[in-house]
Amino acid sequence: MKSKSNLFSSEAARQGIRTTIIGIVVSICLAIIKIITGILGNSYALIADGIESTTDVFTSIVVVTGLRIAQLPPDEKHPYGHGKAEPFAGLIVSLVLLIAAVIIIFQSIREIITPHHAPASFTLIVLLLVVFTKEILFRSVLKVGDQYGSVAVTNDAWHHRGDAITSGAAFIGISVALIGGEGYESADDFAALFASVIIIYNAFRLMKPALDEIMDATPTQILKDEIIKVANSVEGVIASEKCLIRKMGFDYFIDIHIIVDGNLSVFDGHEISHKVKDRLTETFKQINNVLVHVEPATEERMNREHIKKQIKK
């Protein structure tokens, strides 16, 4: 029988894979439409947008692969499981976003320097369709990423938002080129240049949480405080001295030091530690395992400021 944490992880991976596969299919269709329309309509911004959509396909495949690896059970070589594959996939997505933006910058500059005709008006219809479709995809994928705390799925969602941004910028650029007439032919290229700057910003912004998770940074102080509060609610626990949280994919692994009456027997201290572990895993479905260390309530320990604050509460 699977634990609550295993069930949560399995469901999270399943939902993440499902939404990502939908994104792959949509991105392939849109990439084909945008590139063909860009060639026929003389719009590099639209062609560049189509190229960016192909990177969506690649990154989504990376995300699916990462989620599938993250589901693998622990083994002798990976006793904590394979959850790090999930934020690693998220890191790759942010790096690909960065590379795609740099490529678009160079190509946009080249198109600005090279004289060319204004784009065709029918390209605007395609761009509106793309923006609408990608924004819906962004919201649905982001919802899954936020619900299950997945860095990879969240980053993949923002990749779709990046696509919507480049398409929106291209729409504005082409509109300016058509309305302005002669002398404004490069407006869509400047639009692609502007969109790439936004994409670079998002790439760096998305890189941080992925790196934090890979480096075992504490998820949030709020979560840490909630875990300490629940642990302290167990009968026999006076306070919690330390609480270390490690996120592995969709799961959390907790190391917590609880303070108990130093006169208790080893058996009683052991029983309290098991109750703390059970209470935490029952309260937080994301917690996979809890390592509880029992500390005696010495005078020195009880006089520490963070311990006093817990007792006052």
Q: Does 159 lie in the same domain as 18?
A: yes
Domain boundary among 167, 192, 214: 214
Torsion of CA 68, 132, 188, 180, to 10 degrees: 180
Query: What pLDDT was estimated at residue 96?
Result: 82
Q: Assess whether 46 and 177 both reside in one domain.
A: yes
Q: Do 167 and 252 sit in the same domain of this protein?
A: no
200 & 78 share domain: yes
Asked if residue 293 and residue 183 are part of one domain, the reply reads: no
pLDDT at 157: 84
Identify the domain containing residue 288 by its residue range.
221-312
The band of 1, judged by pLDDT with boundaries at 50, 70 and 90, is very low
Task: For residue 115, name the pLDDT band (cuts at 50, 70, 90).
Answer: low
CATH code, 251? 3.30.70.1350
Are residues 175 and 232 both part of a single domain?
Answer: no
> 157, 189, 214: which is the final residue of a domain?
214
pTM of the model: 0.71
Q: Torsion-angle region of residue 257: left (phi > 0), alpha (psi -120 to 50) or beta?
A: beta
Q: Please tell me the total count of domains within the chain.
A: 2
Question: 68-72, 180-184, 209-213, 281-285: lowest mean pLDDT where?
Answer: 180-184
On whether both 238 and 136 belong to a single domain, the answer is: no
Domain match, 68 and 126 both: yes
User: Mean pLDDT in the chain?
Assistant: 82
pLDDT band at 4 (very low <50, low <70, confident <90, very high): low
pLDDT tens-digit readout, 121-130: 888 888 888 8
CATH classification of the domain holding 71: 1.20.1510.10
Boundary of a domain, candidates 190, 214, 238? 214
- Residues 165 and 74 occupy one common structural domain: yes
Residue 3 confidence class, pLDDT cut points 50, 70, 90: low
Compute the half-sphere exposure of residue 43: CA atoms within 13 Å on the CB side of its CA: 38
Please give the Cα distance from 235 to 93 (Å, whole number). 46
Q: Rounded to whole angstroms, how far apart are CA atoms 283 and 99?
A: 42
DSSP annotation of 291: E
Same domain, 306 and 201: no
Can you spell out the DSSP letters for 64-133? HHHHHHHTSPP-SS-TT-STTHHHHHHHHHHHHHHHHHHHHHHHHHHHHHS--PPPPTTHHHHHHHHHHH
Residue 289: phi and psi, rounded to 5, are -155, 150
pLDDT tens digits, residue range 13-66?
A: 788 888 888 888 888 888 888 888 888 887 766 776 777 677 778 778 888 888
pLDDT digits (tens, 9 = 90+) for 162-181: 778 878 877 887 788 778 77
Mean pLDDT of 251-256: 91
Do 270 and 166 fall into the same domain? Answer: no
133 and 269 together in one domain? no
Q: Which residue has the higher pLDDT, 49 or 257?
A: 257
